[in-house]
Amino acid sequence: MDNTVPSHEELLKRIQRLERLVEQLLLEQEQEETLDYAWTSNFGHWYWDIPTNHVTFNPLKMMALGYSRDEVVNHVPYQFFTDKLHPEDYDKTMQAMMDHLEGKSDVYEVEYRLFGVDGQVRWFYDRGKITKWDKDHRPLFMAGIVFDVSEKKRMELELINISRIDDLTQVANHRMLVETLKKSMQVAKAKKQVLSIAVLDIDNYKQINDTKGHLVGDDVLRQVATVMKQSIRDTALVGRYGGDEFLILFADTDLTNAAKICDRIRQKLEATVFKSGVRLSVSGGVSQYNNQSMKEFIQQADKLLYVAKRQGKNQIVSKEE
């Protein structure tokens, strides 16, 4: 037990801190709303006494991070929570706080991730406002409210994934391919890395639909996508570009190696017996990025695909004859 008797100055600071806290609590009780926004189902209030760096808070936040109620202390410094910030969220969170403390924003408002006791992260939405200043207009006291939005974030990420995955084949859809290709081109240009793409098309796919039916045709698309996905490295991305046409993005891969991978895919598909006894082949065009536009980059691969079609199909073409 600490038997140290606090000095007169320490006692005075403690009294002043408690006075500011009590004043804020009474004000909130009178207003019946906190910080001028009507969210009644809040996760927890917090109060930061800035001169003493004491944060008083609802214990639910710490319990959400895996602490037991017995481990929850009455006061912690502001750094108790900032030290647990996810590295990707640290700068934006600190900037949001500094902007408000310096009067650049009306409120402090930010979403961030905190690491829990078990090392897992949880998402929080945090909002606060300075409620008391000293005679020189320096901030003395800040009050806020925090929400655990982990479930909301999980659902958002699921929706993002759904919006980027083709329902039928479960590989990337057109939108995700375009977004990823755009970023990959920027990286390749900035870091002077090689980048290749391939456009592959199922030969005589319409005939499969016409003779076997669309359900069989859908099964074929699913199986083709699976073979392609299993045949590429983690650094590559395969997606359904449209209809029975697939696009594969090969990061940090030159034209020769990308063409070799595509030819292995072609051979594997040719040797596969699909549902209902379907046999098929694919044709493909491969191009390497050379600082052209995205449209020109894809058109180049598409042009080589049609060269492969004209030359008899079931082949990969990476250079114009």
User: What tens digit of pLDDT does each residue of 288-298 get?
Assistant: 999 999 999 99
User: What tens digit of pLDDT does each residue of 124-155 get?
Assistant: 999 999 999 999 999 999 999 888 888 888 88
- Name the residue ranges covered by the structural domains of the chain: 8-155, 166-317
Q: Global pTM?
A: 0.57
Q: How far is the C-alpha of 158 from the C-alpha of 163, rounded, in Å?
A: 9
What proportion of the chain, given as a percentage, has pLDDT over 70?
A: 87
Domain 8-155: which topology? Beta-Lactamase (3.30.450)
Q: pLDDT (tens digit, 0 to 9) for every residue of the chain, 321 residues total?
A: 556 667 767 766 766 776 676 566 656 544 544 444 433 344 578 889 999 999 888 777 788 888 887 787 767 899 999 999 999 999 999 999 999 999 999 999 999 999 999 999 999 999 999 999 999 999 999 999 888 888 888 887 777 767 889 999 999 999 999 999 999 999 999 989 999 999 999 999 999 999 889 999 999 999 999 999 999 988 899 999 999 999 999 999 999 999 999 999 999 999 999 888 889 999 999 999 999 999 999 999 999 999 999 999 999 999 754
Superfamily of domain 166-317: Reverse transcriptase/Diguanylate cyclase domain (3.30.70.270)
